[in-house]
A and B are shown apart, each in its own frame.
Chain A
């Protein structure tokens, strides 16, 4: 097939059209929401107007409660995640290199992986009491196994051709491991890290709902106790925003970069227009 040669009417480029249709969708969404509110089908404290949610957002940020909540949650998340990363990477390396460990512990891990991590909370409360450590434990349990699993996978699937090339050029022992095996496993490890991060995030939110220290989950329960639906929705928006930033921006970009560089993603091609 040959492309049409007749001059076409100038068209908006693809990206502009994409964002335009998105803007229209969200404008419509807000309009319908506002209209439903104006009909007063439900009491205001159950179904607030978009403007009230916006006001609650502004209030939360200007009086500092949202910032305190975000900082509290993020600190917990990062702490738990770093612990999970250290344990997960070590377990992954052990499973990949030590068959006996893989055959025994690997089976246990497989079973535990099916357990939603919030199910660890009662156990954690009994072990650690109602404090930070209990919730940290839940975060770690949420993230650690997916990181371990992906690390093991990545190492096990080191392309044999890289191993041969490296050994051929004199790589041995820990250098071979550090400079070839682990980099070769990196795309898989990063995918596991991304998965671990989103599991940790979900576990944290679940844990914080049952919790009274400063955090986003706690702000949600507070909103509920005060019958303040606009605050509940405002906090939910904050949680969504943080989730998107973590998942899509932080990890998403790193993951894509790495896959592209490792030659695992199709090369970017420019579309003809």
Chain B
């Protein structure tokens, strides 16, 4: 599913007056592309993802999926929220099954899907755990499994791996790329981590601080699978950091 943002501006009305989160954004993402979005905190990355998910609408301009204006949420475009947003009244397994339950899928199919995905995120022993018993990183992995369960055409990820240790994160990078290559899902991946963006993305879009604008775009032509500690990766990461005009320490949060 291809995505298009056309001249979109998003203004929030707040008590302190209007806040322009996004300013005339133009962005087009091909079907099956993996695009990383990077930019300083508060530049409107989450707002942009919400717009693509159909949970937020542009004040001006348009957001389109396959040429159709996005008018609301739809399980074909699933967003993984920055704060996981699992349902605490459901077990881990029931959380993963939630989207399938809404679709009316039979119990056996739901259970099989949940088992497969929980194994993928290495949480199969936690299928009957409650959300409050999980760590932040574990919650993010469950949220990933919950999103993948509905086999969306578009996967929108909002800093999903920020709370993870390097080892788990590398493993999930590999898993995500495998899924992406197998399913042809269109992926938009928001991150603060330049290296992560370089390892995952076909393209890296750099945004400026508020109001959020697109200031640069990098095509990443490295062959996959890519290594996070590699000369090429590092060189590209340095170039993108220069665009961000940030100190490496602020650019590499997470």
- Listed in ascending order, the chain A residues whose CB lies under 8 Å from chain B are 161-162, 164-172, 175, 179-180, 183-184, 186, 260-263, 267
Contacts and interface: CB of A to CB of B under 8 A. Distances in A.
Nearest to B79: A168
Contacts of B146: 169
Nearest to B147: A169
Interface of B: 50, 53, 55, 72-75, 77-79, 81, 83, 85-89, 98-99, 101-103, 130-132, 146-147, 150
Contacts of A167: 55, 72-73
Contact of A161 (B53, B83, B99, B132): B83
Contacts of A162: 85, 87
30 contacts: A161-B81, A162-B85, A162-B87, A164-B50, A164-B55, A164-B79, A164-B81, A165-B81, A166-B98, A168-B77, A168-B78, A169-B98, A169-B102, A169-B146, A170-B75, A170-B99, A170-B102, A171-B98, A171-B102, A179-B101, A180-B87, A183-B87, A183-B89, A184-B87, A186-B89, A260-B132, A261-B132, A262-B88, A262-B89, A263-B132
**Those 9 A-B pairs whose CB atoms lie nearest each other, nearest first:** A169-B99, A170-B75, A183-B89, A165-B85, A170-B102, A167-B73, A161-B85, A262-B88, A263-B132
Provide the main secondary structure of the chain A interface: helix
Nearest to B156: A168
A260 B74 CA distance: 32
A170 B87 contact: no
Contacts of B86: 165
Nearest to B77: A168
Contacts of A161: 81, 83, 85
B81 A175 contact: no
Nearest to A165: B85
A176 to B, nearest CB: 8
Contacts of B85: 161-162, 164-165
Contact of B150 (A169, A180, A262): A169
A172 B98 CA distance: 12
Contacts of B147: 169
B46 to A, nearest CB: 11
A170 B54 CA distance: 12
A267 B132 contact: yes
Given A169-B98, A169-B99, A170-B103, A263 B131 contact: yes
Nearest to A161: B85
Given A162-B87, A183-B89, 13 more contacts: A161-B85, A164-B85, A165-B87, A167-B55, A168-B77, A169-B78, A170-B74, A175-B102, A183-B87, A260-B132, A261-B89, A263-B132, A267-B132
A262 B74 CA distance: 26
B19 to A, nearest CB: 18
B94 to A, nearest CB: 10
A171 B74 CA distance: 9
Nearest to B90: A183
A266 to B, nearest CB: 11
Contacts of B53: 168
Contacts of A171: 98, 102
A168 B83 CA distance: 15
Contacts of B88: 261-263
